[in-house]
Structure 1
Amino acid sequence: MSYIKAGQDANGEDIKLHYTDQGKGAVVVLIHGWPQSHEAWTYQLGELPKHGLRVVAYTRRGFGNSSKPFEGYDYDTLADDLKAVLDTLNLQDVTLVGFSMGGGEVARYMSRHGGARIARVAFVSAVTPYLLKTDDNPDGVDKSTFDDIQENIAKDRFDFLQTFGKQFYGEGALSKPVSQAVLDWSFGMASLGSHQATVACGHSFAETDFRPDLASIRVPALVIHGADDKTVPIKNSADRMRQHLPHATYIVYDGAPHGLFITEKDKFNRDLIDFATGTDLRGGQTQDS
């Protein structure tokens, strides 16, 4: 396994991030969502390198085979971890892709580190611009929704993860977008995360306001979201990104759930390859597909 050092924990132990580096060419860095690991990008890691792209994916601290410190799950620290990946591998002109919680790392990195090394950014099913409903964010999600998540994690984290996985991929009484094997695989990934990381990251993505961070982004941007996303509803996220990234290309996948990198993998891979290679995606306008 390959690891990158990202500072030290409170006890002076090195924090190591598990990563993979595939292919040659223009660089794409993939940031996974909560509560999985970089292994979630399996269909992208298997396809993008075939198209002249070097693909780097790493696992956030606290999850998968990365170090699991007790602290350090705020977005400033997570953005610094991303910087460690980019600096250690000396990556340049990067297409930075954040899925779900990972969209927050993209936004915070761009403001905190001045967008260094980044050529373009993509927000996929992302939690940006600000999920929590507050007085100055009336279109957010009510706090009770996030309180329920934390309560269910505390009660039985593994049962929560199984239920969450079904919603993640849009499974319902009459809808089976993925196999039981995919659900089992996803559960296995999520169960490797530490309890503390799962809890703390749940607070971070729910409660962090990324609106000031988005104002710093000047590079080409892509926003992709599923119209039927029940995990990060489009009305609370991507629909509002238009206010903050008016220059971005917006693509809505009709009928797609949160985990569209699996359920819509062929379409998603094509769009991501086009974006990373500099293709003007669909004229830079909002599109349904």
Structure 2
Amino acid sequence: MGYYISIEEDVKIYVEDLNPGCNNVILFLHGWPGSHELFEYQFNQLPKLGFRCIGLDQRGFGKSDKPYSGYDYDRLSDDVRAVIEVLQLKNITLVGHSTGGAIAVRYMARHRGYGVSKLVLCAAAAPSLIQRPYFPYGIKREDVENIINGTYTDRPAMLQNFGNMFFYQYITEGLSKWFFRLGLQAASWSTAAVAKTWLGEEKLFDDMCEIKVPTLILHGIHDKVCLFSLGKALNQGIRNSKLIPFEFSGHGLFYDEQDKFNKELVEFIK
């Protein structure tokens, strides 16, 4: 079932809550520029196995409200805290994909892992999406600048180009259109604002050192968005973490190798 949670006076977050009677909870944080619907192929299967799957649409994306501001990692992680508190969730597994993974890392540091017993980072945009003088493993700064410029000048073309590099294995025309539609659901200002966050000082090197819970890192070796080297850096920086490479996946590993993704997730949680 779906419902809205008020996190600020004028901001409501949309939440999809499947199998709400179950105590084995997985909270999914989607990547840019999608919504909770990106995890459709997990929601199809995991509730059958006894898991309560909760997917929230971050502010500015999907069905959530789209304020003009509030898109830094601190505010987005505070939104996650609000959802966890309102739903009174405990001992959950927090799953973050791409930018959702970066938000999850900030949440674990900023809120000291409140309510979370296990963490899963898949193709996470952390500890830094872009290359920096002391971190040469991300994508080039100008690649993100092109995304921002494209958002302001021709957002549909930008989204189409991004979709073309999201998956590694062949996808149908229908799935390509589906992914494109998810991107269009977001507001253009929130789409650009989160991309600008990648360019700023929102780096997560210190944050990942604060993670205390068992952590599973899933990363496609063909990822063109969050390069596989980011997964290696997270594995080195997070104590009690395990990195599992996905040999036939790009950025959309939850679809490219969905059976393996679901299997590794279930085995980690049990």
TM-score bin, normalised by smaller chain: over 0.9
Q: Distance in 2 between matches of 1:186 and 1:108?
A: 26
* TM-score, scaled relative to structure 1: 0.89
Q: Note if 1:270 corresponds to 2:260.
A: no
3-state secondary structure, aligned to 1:197: helix
* TM-score, scaled relative to structure 2: 0.95
What is residue 134 of structure 1 aligned with on the other side?
132
Q: After superposing the two structures, state which structure 1 stretch, 158-167 or 29-38, moved more.
A: 158-167
User: Which residue of the other structure, out of 17, 21, 26, is the alignment partner of 1:21?
Assistant: 17
What is residue 225 of structure 1 aligned with on the other side?
219
Q: Distance in 2 between matches of 1:206 and 1:266?
A: 34
Q: Distance in 2 between matches of 1:25 and 1:205?
A: 35
User: Which residue of the other structure, out of 219, 231, 251, is the alignment partner of 2:244?
Assistant: 251
CA distances 1:143-170 after superposition (whole Å, capped 9, x unpaired): 1121122122222001110111111013
Q: Distance in 2 between matches of 1:55 and 1:206?
A: 32
Q: Note if 1:209 corresponds to 2:230.
A: no
Q: What is the Cα deviation at residue 186 of structure 1?
A: 0.8
Q: Distance in 2 between matches of 1:35 and 1:139?
A: 22
CA root-mean-square deviation? 1.3
What is residue 53 of structure 1 aligned with on the other side?
51
Q: Distance in 2 between matches of 1:135 and 1:47?
A: 43
3-state secondary structure, aligned to 1:136: coil
**Residue pair 2:24, 2:51 contacting (<8 A) in 1 also:** yes
Q: Distance in 2 between matches of 1:206 and 1:44?
A: 31
**Residue pair 2:232, 2:243 contacting (<8 A) in 1 also:** no
How many residue pairs match? The answer is 266
Q: What is the Cα deviation at residue 40 of structure 1?
A: 1.1
Q: Distance in 2 between matches of 1:265 and 1:249?
A: 19
Amino acid at match of 1:194: A
3-state secondary structure, aligned to 1:28: strand
Q: What is the Cα deviation at residue 126 of structure 1?
A: 0.5
3-state secondary structure, aligned to 1:115: coil
Q: Distance in 2 between matches of 1:101 and 1:212?
A: 17
Q: What is the Cα deviation at residue 206 of structure 1?
A: 4.4
User: Which residue of the other structure, out of 172, 177, 189, is the alignment partner of 1:184?
Assistant: 177
**Residue pair 2:212, 2:239 contacting (<8 A) in 1 also:** no
**Residue pair 2:138, 2:227 contacting (<8 A) in 1 also:** no
Amino acid at match of 1:85: V
User: Which residue of the other structure, out of 148, 151, 162, is the alignment partner of 2:149?
Assistant: 151
- In structure 1, the gaps of 5 or more residues are 9-13, 171-175, 278-289
**Residue pair 2:167, 2:251 contacting (<8 A) in 1 also:** yes
Residues 140 and 42 of structure 1, relative CA distance in 2, 3 Å threshold = closer
Percent identity over the alignment is 34
- In structure 2, the gaps of 5 or more residues are none
Q: Distance in 2 between matches of 1:156 and 1:59?
A: 24
**Residue pair 1:130, 1:206 contacting (<8 A) in 2 also:** no
Q: Distance in 2 between matches of 1:103 and 1:250?
A: 14
Q: After superposing the two structures, state which structure 1 stretch, 268-277 or 62-71, moved more.
A: 268-277
Q: What is the Cα deviation at residue 246 of structure 1?
A: 4.1
**Residue pair 2:123, 2:219 contacting (<8 A) in 1 also:** yes
Q: Distance in 2 between matches of 1:217 and 1:198?
A: 28
**Residue pair 1:93, 1:118 contacting (<8 A) in 2 also:** yes
User: Which residue of the other structure, out of 243, 249, 253, is the alignment partner of 1:260?
Assistant: 253
**Residue pair 1:104, 1:205 contacting (<8 A) in 2 also:** no
**Residue pair 1:28, 1:276 contacting (<8 A) in 2 also:** no
Residues 205 and 275 of structure 1, relative CA distance in 2, 3 Å threshold = farther
